[in-house]
């Protein structure tokens, strides 16, 4: 939308290499079919004008649609973003003047409990306790989190305020996985067991931690 796929300043070194490799592969594919140019959106997103086989697709102001269970679905303007790679999430955060949280920061935002006291420099003092869930100790319920596929899709990011964490963060359980900046490594004392060795061990150090869903 803002030309981010052509703006080097938003991408890390590895992210820019990933983008250029993907664009090169996309260009080869499009050259063979006689259409399109390099990558300019997440892999599974489509511009409405790219799907002429659905001439009566609902009118909307959105630029992209996305695939869901093999069907095209409007990407709602107030839904959490889906189908983006870690590099794309990192670049978007840079574009917005932010950064992805570390796993520890995400965990703090989701489960930390304030003591109610404030330091002389106006910082909150936190207890050593952590809540089981962002909203406290009560088990998950439909008014707290979008889980178990009960709603058949995503909710607006403003939904379910009763599920907020003590820091006011919303939707930290359910909806979608959330990227962090932390590399995926085992916890101390981890011992692989069949078939877990083939499930996670190959990705240690090569993938990023996701949380939330």
Average pLDDT over residues 98-109: 95
Q: What is the pLDDT of residues 17-55, one digit of tens each?
A: 999 887 776 655 443 433 334 577 888 887 777 776 665
Instruction: Estimate the crossing angle of helix 13-33 against helix 86-95, to 10 degrees.
Output: 110
Give me the mean pLDDT over the 140-148 stretch: 92
Q: Of 59-73, 138-152, 174-188, which range is least confident?
A: 59-73
* Two tokens, residue 51: 């799907």
Average pLDDT, the chain: 82
Domain boundaries defined on the chain: 4-95, 103-211
For residue 37, CA distances in Å to 18, 34, 100, 105 come to 16, 10, 29, 38
Residue 187: per-residue pLDDT = 84
Do 59 and 38 meet the contact criterion of CB atoms below 8 Å apart? no
At residue 36, the pLDDT reads 36
Report yes or no: 125 and 114 within 8 Å, Cβ to Cβ. yes
Q: Can you read off the two tokens belonging to residue 5?
A: 């796929």
Find out whether 212 and 179 touch, Cβ atoms under 8 Å.
no
Placement of tokens 């939707």 in the chain: 171
State how far the Cα of 175 lies from the Cα of 212, in Å rounded to an integer.
Answer: 8
- In the prediction, which pLDDT does 101 show? 96
- Mean predicted confidence (pLDDT) in 159-163: 95
Residue 208 has pLDDT above 80, yes or no: yes
Mean pLDDT of 139-146: 93
CA atoms within 13 A on the CB side of 103: 11
> What pLDDT band is residue 139 in, cutting at 50, 70 and 90?
very high
Q: Which residues pair with 13 in a beta bridge?
A: none
Which tokens belong to 19?
């983008």
| Measured distance CA(176)–CA(157) in Å, rounded | 11
């Amino acid at each position: 939308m803002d030309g981010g796929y052509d703006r080097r300043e938003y991408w890390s070194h590895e992210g820019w290499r990933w983008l250029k490799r993907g664009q090169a592969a996309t260009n080869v594919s499009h050259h063979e079919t006689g259409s399109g140019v390099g990558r300019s959106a997440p892999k599974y997103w489509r511009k409405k004008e790219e799907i002429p086989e659905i001439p009566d697709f609902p009118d909307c102001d959105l630029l992209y649609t996305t695939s869901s269970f093999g069907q095209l679905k409007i990407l709602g303007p107030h839904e959490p973003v889906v189908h983006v790679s870690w590099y794309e999430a990192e670049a978007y955060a840079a574009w917005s003047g932010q950064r992805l949280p570390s796993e520890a920061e995400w965990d703090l935002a989701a489960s930390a409990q304030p003591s109610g006291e404030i330091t002389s420099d106006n910082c909150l003092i936190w207890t050593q306790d952590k809540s089981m869930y962002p909203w406290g100790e009560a088990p998950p319920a439909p008014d707290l989190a979008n889980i178990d596929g009960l709603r058949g899709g995503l909710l607006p990011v403003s939904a379910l305020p009763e599920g907020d964490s003590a820091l006011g963060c919303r939707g930290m359980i359910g909806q979608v996985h959330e990227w962090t900046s932390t590399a995926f490594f085992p916890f101390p004392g981890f011992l692989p067991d069949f078939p877990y060795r083939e499930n996670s061990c190959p990705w240690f150090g090569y993938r990023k931690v996701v949380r939330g869903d």
